[in-house]
Amino acid sequence: MSRQDLMLWSDPPQKPSRRSFIKGASALALANSQISSALNLQSRSKGGKVFAYVGTDTSAIDGKANGRGIYLFEMDTSSGRLSLIKLAAEAKSPSWLCLDPSQRYLYAANEISDFEGKSGSISAYAVDPSKGDLRLLNTISSQGAGPAHLSVDASGKYVFVANYGGGSIAVLPVAPDGSLGAATFTHRDQDHVGSQKATSAPPGSFAISGHDAPHAHMIGADPGNRFVVQTDLGQDRIYVYNFDKHTGKLSPAATPFASLPTGDGPRHFAFHPNGQWLYSIQEEASTVVFFHFDPATGSMAAQQTVSTLPNGFAGTSFASEIRVSPDGRALYAANRLHNTISVFSIGSNGELKRIGETPTLGDYPPQFNFDPSGTFLYVCNQRSDQITSFRIDKRTGLLSFTGHYTPVGTPTCIIFMR
């Protein structure tokens, strides 16, 4: 890495202004939040435990399936090693997990299509904070087949669901005891399907999937909890909805969607901590698109497109997960088949610069995540039945393997109690 690369980690000095003052105040608040999180983690490492939950495939959705449900691990905060405690919940393909803001409840998207007919399901669990045990509260319809993603709004009152197989989205209210109620909102688009071949794919790519119908892939609220953003891989669109926090209903924002090149397949997105930069990863194109996101109107404007693959790459690869580091200085993107995590620095204007890549040391990574302190990055290697862990260089953002492989059948998602 050159000195010029490292300079990207620091903003150039600017003449103070009201805007820069506000930006500085926001950065200070973010830093204080990170310090608080680190102290909380340190406190837990001395007198408590850091738990991780791993969701798995239990039926063949994308290859084989060796999982049995949701597994509970304990994390060593010094080495990054994960130690299996037990199978916390036996379930059908809980392929995506999330915790509510209070960390008292865990929600699982069961990626099936035979619940109450032709639907997937969502399960709600109560979390024992001292042992990490899960207690099933209830399981309800996801309002569509094959739910691939779910998230909880900042208030903890609503769960958002993206049904990939059914091409629909739903909003599920959370009861005071953490259980889920009947949907307050459902929606499914019917048309505008993109082309089978990705416009921006590398030479020789046969990464063709998902453009037979609408396929909702990810859904979540913006950092201000005013809007809900949703990708549709089949339509090559990112939708933005106004979010009514009182009724749990969604309505199209003033600019209802942003379009990606046909066939590219937007899969997941990640917000920068400043709430004004959004990064979308395209599954079939293996690209990241950087958008300016207006937190007042929800409008999105594309600024930059970069490949998640190295220069000169040719052939087939499927991009999957994307995350921004907690400090907002680096972006990480996962490549399936190529089996790497690409690392980008984030400049002072939000633009990306590729600084390296790290092999996942496993096969077909659909998801990765940071530990609560932002010290380690954990990769779920779906087809090789393992999770690999990497230490993050806080100065450069680059990754180094810890030497720890964690065996688990067909892992698809890992989350941590903060």
Q: 273: which 2 tokens? A: 């901590």
Q: Determine the pLDDT at residue 48.
A: 57
Q: What is the pLDDT of residues 50-81, one digit of tens each?
A: 999 999 999 876 667 999 999 999 999 999 99
- Average pLDDT of the residues of the chain: 90
Q: State how beta strands 185-188 and 216-221 pair.
A: unpaired
* pLDDT, mean of residues 387-401: 97
- pLDDT given for residue 3 in this prediction: 32
* pLDDT computed for residue 374 by the predictor: 96
**CATH class of the domain at 189-359:** mainly beta
Q: What is the pLDDT of residue 39?
A: 42
Please determine, for residue 16, whether its predicted confidence score (pLDDT) is greater than 70. no
Mean per-residue pLDDT, 221-248: 98
Out of 19-28, 48-57, 172-181, give the one with best mean pLDDT.
172-181
pLDDT of 211 above 90: yes
Q: What is the pLDDT of residue 7?
A: 34
The whole-number pLDDT of residue 63 equals: 65
Model confidence pLDDT, tens digit, residues 222-234: 999 999 999 999 9
Domain borders along the chain are 189-359
32 pLDDT above the threshold of 70? no
- Strands of the 277-282 sheet, one edge to the other: 266-271, 277-282, 287-293, 300-307
Answer yes or no: is pLDDT of 334 > 50: yes
Mean pLDDT, residues 259-269: 98
pLDDT at 5 over 70: no
Q: How much is the pLDDT for 17?
A: 40
**Local confidence band at 209 (pLDDT 50, 70, 90 cut-offs):** confident
Return the higher-pLDDT residue of 387 and 26. 387
Q: What pTM was estimated for this model as a whole?
A: 0.89
Number of neighbouring beta carbons within 10 Å of residue 348: 12
Tokens of 209: 């999937």
The torsion of the CA quartet 286, 278, 371, 306, rounded to 10 degrees, works out to 30
Termini Cα distance of the chain? 32
Q: Do 393 and 371 meet the contact criterion of CB atoms below 8 Å apart?
A: no
CB 367 within 8 A of CB 378: no
Please tell me the least confidently modeled range out of 8-17, 313-322, 363-372.
8-17
Q: What percent of the chain has pLDDT over 90?
A: 85
Please give the share of the chain, as a percent, with pLDDT higher than 70: 88
Per-residue model confidence (pLDDT) at position 41: 42
Split at pLDDT 50, 70, 90, the class of 35 is very low
pLDDT of residue 61: 66
Question: Quick check: 40 pLDDT over 70?
Answer: no
pLDDT average, residue stretch 382-399? 97
> Which pLDDT score is estimated for 28?
39
Per-residue confidence (pLDDT) for residue 178, from 0 to 100? 98
Strand 227-232 to strand 216-221: parallel, antiparallel, or no bridges (unpaired)? antiparallel
Q: Order across the sheet with 119-127: list the strands.
A: 94-99, 105-115, 119-127, 134-141
How far is C-alpha 158 from the geometric centre of its chain's CA atoms? 18
Secondary structure string (H, E, C) spanning the chain? CCHHHHHCCCCCCCCCCHHHHHHHHHHHHHHHHHHHHHHHHHHHHHHCCEEEEEEECCCCCCCCCCCCEEEEEEECCCCCCEEEEEEEEECCCEEEEEECCCCCEEEEEEEEEEECCCEEEEEEEEECCCCCCEEEEEEEECCCCCEEEEEECCCCCEEEEEECCCCEEEEEEECCCCCECCCCEEEECCCCCCCCCCCCCCCCCCCCCCCCCCCEEEEEECCCCCEEEEEECCCCEEEEEEEECCCCEEEEEEEEEEECCCCCCEEEEEECCCCCEEEEEECCCCEEEEEEECCCCCCEEEEEEEECCCCCCCCCCEEEEEEECCCCCEEEEEEECCCEEEEEEECCCCCEEEEEEEECCCCCCCEEEECCCCCEEEEEEHHHCEEEEEEECCCCCCEEEEEEEEECCCEEEEEECC
Short-list 278, 262, 259, CA closest to 270: 278
pLDDT at 14 > cutoff 50? no
